[in-house]
Amino acid sequence: MKPCMKPVLASVVFGILTLVVLFPAAPARADIYRYTDDNGVMHITNLPTSPDYKLWIKERRVIIRAGIDMTKYGPLIQKASDRYKVDYSLVKAVIKAESNFNHRAVSPKGAQGLMQLMPKTASTLQVRDSFEPESNIEGGVKYLRYLMNVYNGHLPLALAAYNAGEKAVARYGGIPPYAETQGYVRRVMALYKQYSKEPKEGRTAIVSMRPEVVSD
């Protein structure tokens, strides 16, 4: 049987590579199983249906994670960022720094939700439920846009005001000398730079390597 199986093996391997490259997100299993029945006929499949099938070819794979968006809020962020002309990556950075993408987060001072809106601010922004992701993101991005306009696009000042309030920024004529606020501005700016280098939509690509024959 071995000599006549070589063309089959080549065909199978080519099929695996084609399937994985063209459809990297497909959940199909690429390991190949086989068994020989009582009539000497060899059966080959990537989805074994009985214990008679034994692993024959194990696919070696490299998982490449390209700009994975760790949140499930991407479409909501995109919608709000488009509406208020605030960079997607900046919104994502603020959410990461504020709540680490926890829509139920509450700060010791009472700020709530993904973008940590204070109840009074949320009311002004007409956000009825700060724990509802879409409403919170909508309100938070709207507020961020407002602050960016107030400070003529000076992002560090806008972020400082987001964290400490406009009055604090006005009092000190710049970023307040609060350790929390200064650390917050640095962190958001660093996250913004990091996220700006990544694709907006996270995808996982599977690149097939040379198949490994487990058994003959």
CA 33 – CA 216 distance, rounded (Å): 11
**Nearest Cα to Cα of residue 159 among 213, 106, 90, 58:** 90
Neighbours of 215 (CB within 10 A): 9
**Nearest Cα to Cα of residue 96 among 154, 146, 159, 155:** 159
Sign for the CA dihedral angle at 177, 174, 167, 117 comes to: negative
Q: HSE on the CB side for 66, CA within 13 Å?
A: 11
* Side chain identity at residue 8, one-letter code: V
CB 184 within 8 A of CB 163: yes
CB 71 within 8 A of CB 81: no
Active site (annotated) includes residue 134 = no
CA 32 – CA 114 distance, rounded (Å): 45
Annotated catalytic residue, options 98, 132, 134, 138: 98
CB 215 within 8 A of CB 44: no
**Cα 94–chain centre separation:** 15
Instruction: Tell me the catalytic residues.
Output: 98
